[in-house]
Structure 1
Amino acid sequence: MSGFPEPRGRAALVTGGASGIGLGIARRFTAGGMQVVIADAEQDAADRASKETGAPGMRADVRDATDAHAPAAATAVERGGVHVVANHAGVGPAGPDRRAWAGTRCRSSGSSR
C-alpha cells in the first residue's frame, strides 16, 4: 500500500498545462484516469493541449488574481471539487498583493510534514 489515494476519478487543475512540464503532468494525469482541467495564458495553446489530452483547456493568466481563481472555480464546478493543483505556469501574480492563491489550502493524507 503506497499511502496515496487512488488518483482515478480525482480532479486536477494544471496551470501552465499547455507546454513543458505542465503538459507532461496533464498527459500523465489523464492517462491515469484523473479528471484534468488545463489552464494556460494562451488560449490557442490550451486548445491544442486539450485536443491532445482530451482534458478541457481554458485561458488563465495567473499574473492576474481574477484569472488565477477562475480555473480553480471552473474545475470545482465541472469536476465536483479540486483534489490536485499542479502550478506549472512560468509566472506568478505580479504587484505588491501576491495573495492570489491565499484562498487555497493544503490537506495532507497523514504525512507528518
Structure 2
Amino acid sequence: MPKITAQGKTIDCESGANLRQVLLDNGIDLYNGASAVINCHGLGTCGTCAVAISGTVSEMEWREKARLSVFPHSVDRGRRLACQVQVLDDIQVTKFDEFWGQGDRKIWTAQG
C-alpha cells in the first residue's frame, strides 16, 4: 500500500488512487486562496492543484501536458496536477505559492 507524505501527514492509499482525492479526503490544503472555490474539481483544466512530487506516480497524459504547457505554468518546472496523478508507490508532495501553485516559495512540504 503506497504512502503519501504531505503537509506533515502520512496517508496510506490504494495503488492507483487519485492524488487530489486522497489529499482532500485527508484534510490537506491543496488549493491556495480563492482557488479552493474557483477550480475545475478534478477535470485537469484549471491547473490550481499543481504540486511537486517525489516518488513514483503515473505518467503525464495529454490533458495534464496541455494545461501545464500554458501560462502561468511550464512543463519544465516539474510540477504535476494532483487531479491527474495516480499514486503508484510512496511519494512526498510539496505545494508552492501563488494562485495556481506556480510560485517559487513553498507553502508546505511533505514534512509540514
TM-score tier, shorter chain, comes to: under 0.3
* More strand by percentage: 2
Q: Bigger radius of gyration, 1 or 2?
A: 1
